[in-house]
Structure 1
């Protein structure tokens, strides 16, 4: 009998991750597996060597474990050692006393198997508890996390929250929808993050970068994030909404039917290039709320949009930190929907 595409994808990914593993480890585990980085490597700011990290490698070198239940999943993501946590099927995250937000420890890869791995009902929290008194990266800041190939929906708070100087985080090839607050919020001095090849839909407040106009002491000089090849599929606003961060690199994203795309405020610096905006009321703004932001735009395409892109510069160039080769903006409506989301790594 011919295998279905879903079964083929699941078997292929599992084989890449565990096919040659030997030895013992935690229950259901085998050590010394290649991370899903063997399939791809973190790029953008997540790939930059800094803060003691040579890019983002997640659980590389750790055991491979497979979570099929809530209890097993929450146990694995909280362990102190490097782990590659494979998610099989649907896992419901409880609300409990933490409003459905569940902490992820450093050095983890969380990756869905096939095209139907799903987290629902709660979200993932990356970072120490919020504390205004901490104004520089602590030695125990959460770091080196990869989240790939998962559908995440229905959280009572954020779908993913990154905070308190967490760094080297790669959010790649996921599907985000129906959260009560942010889809992927990045704040409180977090740094060196890439959000790539994700689909955002049926969601209101999508991407917050910098949470408050009064938080310059933690955020200024940090919050360096790359957003590329994401599909903002009628996700309404904050795609992203930025404070203080510089540079923020927003390239080759497909915006379709949004109230606004990018908002840069509080002297944030955004480079917006090679994006395609279709039926977006305000593609990008620097006069939004609070102090003016800065934004440099190039090679973007606007179709059936009500306003032009607002600009104000200069902005530090992303190429100061890393190299990249963008697609032509005209190709984005074909390239991005074909490659963004789950089941495509």
Structure 2
């Protein structure tokens, strides 16, 4: 373990400009340009799973891989661009068939109703917030078919190709984002998650090829679940390829992530601050923990946690004021088998992630 001073986070953003309407119009144009650029990048590199970009605006990781008949993750590119300002508009757009780019303006309340506040997102969607105040409040998004334990291979109609960016999620009565039932090619990027009743981002039941990047998690308990329980092997073994990078675990409590069965999980360049535990690898999951910065984390990484032991390889991490070392065991397939990436030095992670993670940064 290396002891280093913790960089001082950057100051809070200045108050919003008075000319809010003009700024919102500019942000709409910027969001449309971003989606166009993102689609072009996806077309250029999805076929090989090659690096698109390491900067704050680029897609990296398992969401870029060509697999399961999907060449990377392009979301709603090529479909209509629509704007949602009300609950009715948002729920209508996310459920429509075919590609859509859905721009969220302002705060939208997701009703609880009979679904415990979880609302289904159809394939081929980009959901992107405009400015720094787009929010989904009181409910969450479900990406995936209804639960069926008898299905143990990806069905032809699995939900796929979804991008969620620049949204603040809070106050959900269940999960804030739930990915299930062999859903694949999902990019969850530059969001803010807080005060949910259950998981912030849960990925389970055979889902695959997901990147979770540049998000801020705070004021929340059960953060990232990867595989839902010890009986999930028939659906999960050989799947759950997920990349977690440049996320800010800002005094969120646990599960960053908590992993079972996953084939290859890549956790790199994340900033952990004041958490009970960081990563747990169990039930023979394979996790590479690389170039992260852990400050005041009781257990940064565990394989002897609950149930069967997992596999965990660590390299290049910095631990400051942590009570335990990162536990290691076994070997893990190199993520570069699937995609290219350029990790930042761990010493730079607190400053980089504090400045770049969350909403209003793209």
TM-score, normalised to structure 2, is: 0.89
1:146-165 → structure 2 map (5 Å cutoff): 146-165=163-182
Match of 2:9 in 1: none
1:134-145 → structure 2 map (5 Å cutoff): 134-145=151-162
Q: Does the 8 A contact of 2:31 with 2:130 survive in 1?
A: no
Question: CA 1:5 to 1:41, structure 2 compared with 1: closer, same or farther past 3 Å?
Answer: farther
Match of 1:120 in 2: 137
> Which stretches in structure 2 are left out of the alignment for 5+ residues?
1-15, 42-56
Match of 1:206 in 2: 223
Match of 1:28 in 2: none
How far, CA to CA, are the matches of 2:226 and 2:106 in structure 1? 31
Measure how far apart 1:10 and its partner are.
Answer: 3.6
How far, CA to CA, are the matches of 1:69 and 1:211 in structure 2? 33
Measure how far apart 1:36 and its partner are.
Answer: 5.3
Measure how far apart 1:299 and its partner are.
Answer: 0.3
Match of 1:15 in 2: 29
1:305-344 → structure 2 map (5 Å cutoff): 305-344=322-361
Q: Does the 8 A contact of 2:140 with 2:176 survive in 1?
A: yes
Q: Does the 8 A contact of 1:87 with 1:117 survive in 2?
A: yes
Measure how far apart 1:16 and its partner are.
Answer: 3.3
Of 41, 64, 71, which aligns to 1:54?
Answer: 71
How far, CA to CA, are the matches of 2:293 and 2:306 in structure 1? 24
With 4-13 and 248-257 compared, the bigger mean Cα shift is at: 4-13
How far, CA to CA, are the matches of 2:18 and 2:111 in structure 1? 32
2:214 counterpart of 1:197: yes
Match of 2:3 in 1: none
Question: CA 1:35 to 1:117, structure 2 compared with 1: closer, same or farther past 3 Å?
Answer: farther
1:1-12 → structure 2 map (5 Å cutoff): 3=17, 10-12=24-26
Q: Deviations over 1:292-331 (max 9, x none)?
A: 0000000000000000000001111101000100000000
How far, CA to CA, are the matches of 1:85 and 1:129 in structure 2? 23
Of 275, 282, 293, which aligns to 1:276?
Answer: 293
Q: Does the 8 A contact of 1:6 with 1:114 survive in 2?
A: no
Measure how far apart 1:15 and its partner are.
Answer: 1.2
Match of 1:102 in 2: 119
1:169-180 → structure 2 map (5 Å cutoff): 169-180=186-197
Measure how far apart 1:43 and its partner are.
Answer: 1.6
Q: Does the 8 A contact of 1:120 with 1:154 survive in 2?
A: yes
How far, CA to CA, are the matches of 2:20 and 2:235 in structure 1? 44
Measure how far apart 1:246 and its partner are.
Answer: 1.9
Would you say how many aligned residue pairs link Structure 1 and Structure 2? 331
> Which stretches in structure 1 are left out of the alignment for 5+ residues?
20-32
Question: CA 1:114 to 1:17, structure 2 compared with 1: closer, same or farther past 3 Å?
Answer: closer
Question: CA 1:37 to 1:5, structure 2 compared with 1: closer, same or farther past 3 Å?
Answer: farther
Measure how far apart 1:164 and its partner are.
Answer: 0.1
How far, CA to CA, are the matches of 1:148 and 1:245 in structure 2? 25
1:252-263 → structure 2 map (5 Å cutoff): 252-263=269-280
Question: CA 1:35 to 1:142, structure 2 compared with 1: closer, same or farther past 3 Å?
Answer: farther
2:313 counterpart of 1:296: yes
Question: CA 1:278 to 1:4, structure 2 compared with 1: closer, same or farther past 3 Å?
Answer: farther
Q: Does the 8 A contact of 2:31 with 2:128 survive in 1?
A: no
Of structures 1 and 2, the one with the larger relative CO (CA 8 A, separation 6+) is 2
Question: CA 1:244 to 1:154, structure 2 compared with 1: closer, same or farther past 3 Å?
Answer: same
Match of 1:23 in 2: none
Q: Deviations over 1:207-232 (max 9, x none)?
A: 00000111111000000000000000
How far, CA to CA, are the matches of 1:87 and 1:36 in structure 2? 18
How far, CA to CA, are the matches of 2:22 and 2:122 in structure 1? 31
How far, CA to CA, are the matches of 2:229 and 2:32 in structure 1? 43
Q: Does the 8 A contact of 1:13 with 1:113 survive in 2?
A: yes
SS for the counterpart of 2:297 is coil
Question: CA 1:16 to 1:218, structure 2 compared with 1: closer, same or farther past 3 Å?
Answer: same
Measure how far apart 1:11 and its partner are.
Answer: 3.4
